[in-house]
Structure 1
Amino acid sequence: MSTSQVQHHPVDGFTIIPVLKAFLPRTLPLLRRAQFPHRSPSFYITATFSPGTAVESLPQCFAVCILDRSRRPETEGWLFSSGEIEGRCPELKNNTENSSGSGSTPQQCPDCTRAILSLAKHIPSLPLPDSVHGEDNITKLLTQSRSDQPSPGQTSAKQVSTLDYSRHITNPNVMVVGTIAQFPAEILNSQGLIRTDLPGMDIPYQKFIFRTSDLRHVDTTLPDGLRWGQVRPQDFELVRSRTAIPRKDKTLALLPSVAIFREENSGGDSPVAWGFLGPDGSLASLHVEPNYRGRGLAKKVTTKILNEQLKVFDEEEGKSEQGWICNSDVALDNLESTGVARSLGGRPGWVVYWVRVNLEKAKALP
């Protein structure tokens, strides 16, 4: 199958943002990543249409990929295909993804497939940067106890270890593509481009969509004895210890955050609850310490960070009547976070995955 021509767009997002806005909410992760102000020299915006193409002049089938491989083993790429939009592609009349993740495999369109595979084939041709997290982090990951690794066949996000999420880090031919929808993921998988021996298609996440206008009624007043703050560098070790997802200090330092502390803190004590916004604007690392659960703190943290911190991505958007559009990815087996999302008016959107793409195979595509 021949490939489509891949075009590079300006890294400030000037030419791609109007396109991404036209296809909201499906393009929301890419839109926020394009708006996020921190861009490394290895940041790329690629698409299968030329910069400056008006929305009404776009090809029927196209794809967009945003890349920053300098942050591995964290998410390195975000991919959107026009085939995700119901009714967009005449070849996909019955392409209705089931929001529970249990629907039938989506149909494939030759033009959509060509666009997605063109971007996949192009990625290995780009310079591979060193990871900003340094060799010391790689050494730490590789020397962790083997007992930290999950057993084969585990399909729960809660069962996968930090080591398993990160053990591809020394292989430059593996790249993490995050919050990818079922349609493009199935196309990559059908070509053998997704590493099935690493976490990926076996761990689905539910995408929840919010509007901050729906959150304005939520009371963020804290119970007596607690106060608001932000996550500090000295708190990063605690944050990382509460999740298997490989969060690195250099990335956490860039991300907007809120935290809850005990009022008597002298500045050196640890937070009791926290949350971040990821570089794609999603709610990330939401956590409440066990002794402080059942008091509505997760709901308050979510409300406060979405209402106050999304201005980093687009300040003007928040001034509209509906406020910001925002999103959260919740593992299907995470009932607690699912409950928080629903209680705040989060609407289930579609199922997404974090997949490890085999770039060696992508480079060999015809």
Structure 2
Amino acid sequence: MPPEIQTYALQPDGHLVLKNSTESSAAYSSTDIVAFLTKRLPYSLPILRRLQLGRRGEETLLITTSLPLNGRVKEANDPKALTPDSLYTMAVIDRAGYPSTEIWPFSSLELYHGTADHEKAPQMPQTDPSSFVLPFSDEVFKAATSQLLAVLSRIPITNPQQPDLAHFTTPGTFCCLAGNVHTTVAALLAGADLIIRSAHEKSHHTPYGKYLFPLPPPAPSSSSSGEGPEPLPQGLEWSTIGPGDFAGVMAANKIVRSAATIAGLHSAAVRDPRAGGRAVAFAFASTDGSVRTLHVDPAYRRRGLARAVVLRLLRTGRGSAFGPPAGGPLSVVAAAEGEEGRAGPLAFTGVEGSNVGSIKTFEAVGGRWYWDAYWLWLDLGRVEQRIGV
């Protein structure tokens, strides 16, 4: 029997409105979903923040299977104990995000991290999700894949979307970029043959270590209150990124695919008046509450600018770009995010395993590696073909 699915539209006021359902059970509220995801932190952090902080409207959907709202959170180190009837899958969809991220998935399989102490585990980057061997039974793997396919089958397909054909060996007709895809979910997608193969594997299948760090960040050395500006080397100035900087930002970071992607993002930047006022260091808060696109020009590195920019970004954006909202249906009491011994809410970022400089920067602001995640182009045209296979 196919999984039961509910589809909700995220309204501008933060309420979820049920659009359609294959089950007769009561609809979930925004409060239900936020409470459910909060109990499953830190693994649920990307999808939770996308709901709380990202774009809203009829094109922003939450698609989910039945959820054990009152059930015990089953995070464990024994994946063999997992049964198909305890699985659930959900995804936030934003079709207006193309060509940037449009899908944020989350699966109960992510709670089975398989490491006794994930905070001390070494980052183990791999490159090909099809090579992953998941520690679950065939029955669980099949059931989880079935749920994932059922969720993806509900994504509205309006216009054929093609990524740049020069980068793909097997382009599909209906392509979506899935982001913050946990290793286990990436393996399910690979097993279902939904990932579009790239001619440049490293460019498109590079894992990003998910680093989590507490909010608020440490206070700057110049202010015990934490409200003062981060000190900069003489001659440099604090600023933000504006339209005149977009071309330079995209040239410095290939992950940024369009000016529209960054136009509405909160930013922090350092400018050098002696270089025509050019932004020589910058970072953004993404729509899912993560720190993204951290960059420092080569000539300005090893001067503490990366850490300063991250701290500046976190402090100036902590009321709107990071952390849970203070009110409304998607809010949550900050203390509720302090489970598992944490003192408060978390922020996060993704860093390539080879980017030693960025790893050191985020470790300096309290960041710890928890898992690896991918950004993967998916061919939605294959979903119906794979259902029942």
Deviation at 1:63, TM superposition (A): 1.0
Deviation at 1:299, TM superposition (A): 0.3
Letter aligned with residue 240 of structure 1: M
Q: Which residue is 1:291 aligned to? A: 299
Deviation at 1:328, TM superposition (A): 0.9
Secondary structure of the residue that 1:108 maps to in structure 2? coil
My pick for the range that moved more, 292-301 or 219-228, is 219-228
Q: How many Å separate the matches in 2 of 1:318 and 1:214?
A: 19
The answer to whether the 8 A contact 1:63-1:80 is kept is yes
Letter aligned with residue 211 of structure 2: F
Q: State yes or no: 1:226 paired with 2:236.
A: yes
Q: How many Å separate the matches in 2 of 1:45 and 1:77?
A: 10
Letter aligned with residue 88 of structure 2: F
Deviation at 1:247, TM superposition (A): 2.9
Q: How many Å separate the matches in 2 of 1:27 and 1:302?
A: 22
Among candidates 136, 143, 163, match of residue 114 of structure 1: 143
Q: How many percent identity over aligned positions?
A: 25
Secondary structure of the residue that 1:312 maps to in structure 2? coil
Q: How many Å separate the matches in 1 of 2:189 and 2:3?
A: 15
Q: Which residue is 1:272 aligned to? A: 280
Q: 1:71 to 1:108 in 2, by over 3 A?
A: same
Letter aligned with residue 325 of structure 1: L
Secondary structure of the residue that 1:33 maps to in structure 2? helix
The answer to whether the 8 A contact 1:210-1:325 is kept is yes
Q: How many Å separate the matches in 2 of 1:270 and 1:55?
A: 53
Q: Deviations over 1:236-278 (max 9, x none)?
A: 111001011143211211211111123579xx83211110011
Q: How many Å separate the matches in 2 of 1:319 and 1:222?
A: 31
Q: State yes or no: 1:196 paired with 2:197.
A: yes
- The 5-angstrom pairing of residues 167-316 of structure 1 reads 171-197=172-198, 199=201, 202-217=205-220, 220-262=230-272, 269-313=277-321, 314-316=324-326
RMSD between superposed Cα atoms in Å: 3.4
Q: Which residue is 1:105 aligned to? A: 133
Deviation at 1:121, TM superposition (A): 3.8
- The 5-angstrom pairing of residues 95-174 of structure 1 reads 99-101=123-125, 105-109=133-137, 110-111=139-140, 113-129=142-158, 164=167, 171-174=172-175
Letter aligned with residue 290 of structure 1: P
Q: 1:104 to 1:190 in 2, by over 3 A?
A: closer
Q: Which residue is 1:42 aligned to? A: 59
Unaligned runs of 5+ in 1: 143-162
Q: How many Å separate the matches in 2 of 1:28 and 1:255?
A: 19
Q: 1:174 to 1:10 in 2, by over 3 A?
A: closer
Unaligned runs of 5+ in 2: 17-29, 74-84, 223-229, 327-331
Q: How many Å separate the matches in 2 of 1:348 and 1:86?
A: 16
The answer to whether the 8 A contact 1:82-1:112 is kept is no
Q: Which residue is 2:349 aligned to? A: 328
